[in-house]
Amino acid sequence: MADRITLKRIIKLLAISAKLDLTWLLRDAKLALLAIGGDIVNNVAIASGVFLIAARFGGIGDMSADEVLFMLAYSTMITGIFALFGSGNNIHISRIIGRGQLEHLFIQPLPLFTQLVTSGFAPFTGGGNLIVGICLMVIAGKRLDLHITPWWILSLITYLLTTLVTIIARSYFAASAAFYAPVAAEEISSVAIDETWFLSTFPLGGMPQAIQIPLLTILPEGLMAWYPSLCLLGKSPLHLTAYYPMLYALLIALAARAVFRKGLRYYVTRGSNRYVPYGFRR
Amino acid sequence: MKKYLVTAQLSALEKTNGGIVYLLPNILIKVCTLVPLLYLWRVVMSAGAHVGMTLEQMLSYTYLSALLSNMLVVETAASGWLSEGVILQLYGRPLSVIGQLVAQTVGGWAPYLLLFSLPLALLAPLLGVHLVPASPWFFVSLLLCIMLGFAIDALFACLSIRLRNMNWLINRLRLAVATVFSGTVIPIKLLPYGMAEVMKYQPFASLGGAPLSVFIGTADLTEIISIQVLWNLILWPTALLIWNRSQERMVSYGG
């Protein structure tokens, strides 16, 4: 019988994930620090690519170099929060589905949703990028002379959560293919999340609308950093409302929920041809 | 040689085992990244800053970089195969392990060249991109770049052995290198704060950035080819030496 899920229970589950994360870190601190450092270097490198262009040319389109830095700080914070809560393939969900590992979750006395929410929490190894992102945001904020108020901070948190919802929903939407084609679609979440990340660091200002609009709708990379950053700087792009990212996140989350549930129903009736009794995949 | 060609052929076929349709997401993402990147450069270059490159050269640089991305920063399966245990299979065959990795990697390029690079090369004129090399030395530079890429990849594989198969970390570092130091995303020449002068001598600059700058005609040919030859002469013996020593430390499990 499944446990009763309360806030206290969720905090306890997060604590278990944090403890496992700390155990991994302490198992071999040298390797763990290398892994954390490598992750930070990689994310800063991806973000700095566009900043170096902005610095060289004194800005990109209608954004100054400091505004681009602000946008990249936002992007780095997103990768930081992602690593903080998504270190257990719980956001790269196609891997769990494709490898037949959903079975492992089914036998736990916890609802699937609760397990997925809490299983990727990695505060000790996943928090580095968030710290770097916050530092970059403070630097950019000072250079831009931003007037920081509690309302602004609340807006920042809301936009960060909205962006995360969009990322997770898109990953789950795409990952639903793994219910039907587990081998071929095992890495489709990576394609949806990681392969597009460089594109999400592009400032879209100055580009034709034929490029901007698809990147705010079909492939929402413009919503990963560019659009929310401009809203936080008080310059909503394309004369659209500052609430557009929230609306988009809601719609894609609903679509993902419907598609994922349908896939899950298919999975529980057919099972996975990759699952073997000792838990490894074919 | 025939055995290596068959290995390459098998590798090419393996990429399409699940059907061509499953290659499409990757190809689509590449196209969706390339087109905005072309417009990004149009926006940036239209600001009028003097950077020693014309817009046409910049577009050719970016376009070709996407078309030949697999060759410009070579990535073999070695790091991943170490952690998955697949690499042990290579030792059971009467072929050089590094030779097999090279053949497998080159074979794996074929589907992408056919399904992505070739169609986009044909579409280039429609996007206003000029794809004719400024010098035939481009092909020499590309060959040196690929050779150096394999040497650097072998060194990354050795690092993976040293770090007990942390191929995830290796991939992250490799991606960072490709993004900033290789010049495939931002030409080394465009780096700000005086970084360009220093960065052009580091080994990663002899990867993608070198043939691309030869292709568009902004490179000092003698200098760039000499640097590429020099890094090949330094890194290949180093890679082979470290590879031979690292084999004793190789630990693989899984299957």
pLDDT above 80: residue B3: yes
DSSP B177: I
Q: What mean pLDDT comes out for the span B140-161?
A: 92
User: Contact B166/A48, CB-based, under 8 Å?
Assistant: no
What residues form DSSP beta bridges with A60? A63
CA terminus-to-terminus distance, chain B: 28
Determine which of B32, B42, B186 to mutate to test the interface with A (most A C-beta atoms within 10 Å): B32
- The whole-angstrom distance between A23's CA and the closest CA on chain B is 17
- Tell me the chain B residues in contact with residue A45 when contact means C-beta distances shorter than 8 Å: 175-177, 179-180
What was the pLDDT predicted at A32?
77
Task: Assess B247–A contact: CB distance below 8 Å, yes or no.
Answer: no
pLDDT above 50: residue A27: yes
- Tell me the chain A residues in contact with residue B29 when contact means C-beta distances shorter than 8 Å: 191, 195-196, 199
Which strand (E) or helix (H) includes residue B3? helix B2-15
Q: What mean pLDDT comes out for the span A84-91?
A: 89
User: Contact A60/B172, CB-based, under 8 Å?
Assistant: no
Task: Assess B23–A contact: CB distance below 8 Å, yes or no.
Answer: no
Q: What mean pLDDT comes out for the span A47-74?
A: 85
pLDDT above 90: residue A255: yes
Expressed as residue numbers, the domain containing B174 is 2-249
Scanning B170-209 for CB atoms below 8 A from A yields: 172-173, 175-177, 179-180, 185-186, 190-193, 195
User: Contact A211/B33, CB-based, under 8 Å?
Assistant: no
User: Contact B186/A211, CB-based, under 8 Å?
Assistant: no
Q: Is residue B115 part of a domain?
A: yes
- B253 burial (CB, 10 Å; 0-12 / 13-18 / 19+) is exposed
Task: Assess A150–B contact: CB distance below 8 Å, yes or no.
Answer: no
Residue pointed to by tokens 């084999």 = B247
Which residues lie closer than 8 Å to B174 by C-beta, 6 or more apart?
B73, B75, B156
User: Contact B26/A52, CB-based, under 8 Å?
Assistant: no
User: Contact B33/A199, CB-based, under 8 Å?
Assistant: yes
Q: Is residue B255 part of a domain?
A: no
pLDDT above 90: residue A36: no
- For the segment B73-87, what is each residue's pLDDT rounded down to a tens digit? 898 888 777 777 778
What was the pLDDT predicted at A155?
95
A212 against B18, higher pLDDT: A212
Q: Is residue B254 part of a domain?
A: no
ipTM: 0.76
User: Contact A196/B192, CB-based, under 8 Å?
Assistant: no
Distance CA A117, CA A11 (A): 11
Contact status, residue A159 vs residue A245, Cβ threshold 8 Å: yes
- A34 burial (CB, 10 Å; 0-12 / 13-18 / 19+) is middle
Which residues lie closer than 8 Å to A108 by C-beta, 6 or more apart?
A115
- Tell me the chain B residues in contact with residue A204 when contact means C-beta distances shorter than 8 Å: 36
- For the segment A155-178, what is each residue's pLDDT rounded down to a tens digit? 999 999 999 999 999 999 999 999
Q: Is residue B231 part of a domain?
A: yes
- Tell me the chain A residues in contact with residue B186 when contact means C-beta distances shorter than 8 Å: 49, 52-53
- The whole-angstrom distance between A59's CA and the closest CA on chain B is 8
Distance CA A73, CA B38 (A): 24
pLDDT above 60: residue A66: yes
Scanning A197-216 for CB atoms below 8 A from B yields: 198-199, 202-208, 211, 215
User: Contact B169/A49, CB-based, under 8 Å?
Assistant: no
- For the segment B185-236, what is each residue's pLDDT rounded down to a tens digit? 888 888 877 788 888 889 999 998 999 999 999 888 999 999 999 999 999 9
pLDDT above 50: residue B255: no
User: Contact B172/A207, CB-based, under 8 Å?
Assistant: no
Q: Which of A38, A45, A57 sits opposite B180 (nearest CB)?
A: A45
- Tell me the chain B residues in contact with residue A38 when contact means C-beta distances shorter than 8 Å: 169, 172-173, 176
What was the pLDDT predicted at A56?
81
Q: What mean pLDDT comes out for the span B22-47?
A: 83
- The whole-angstrom distance between B241's CA and the closest CA on chain A is 24
Q: How many domains does chain B have?
A: 1
Determine which of B14, B26, B27, B29 to mutate to test the interface with A (most A C-beta atoms within 10 Å): B29
Task: Assess A38–B contact: CB distance below 8 Å, yes or no.
Answer: yes
Task: Assess A41–B contact: CB distance below 8 Å, yes or no.
Answer: yes
- Tell me the chain B residues in contact with residue A24 when contact means C-beta distances shorter than 8 Å: none
- A54 burial (CB, 10 Å; 0-12 / 13-18 / 19+) is buried
Helix ranges, B126-220 (H): 137-162, 167-176, 195-199, 209-216
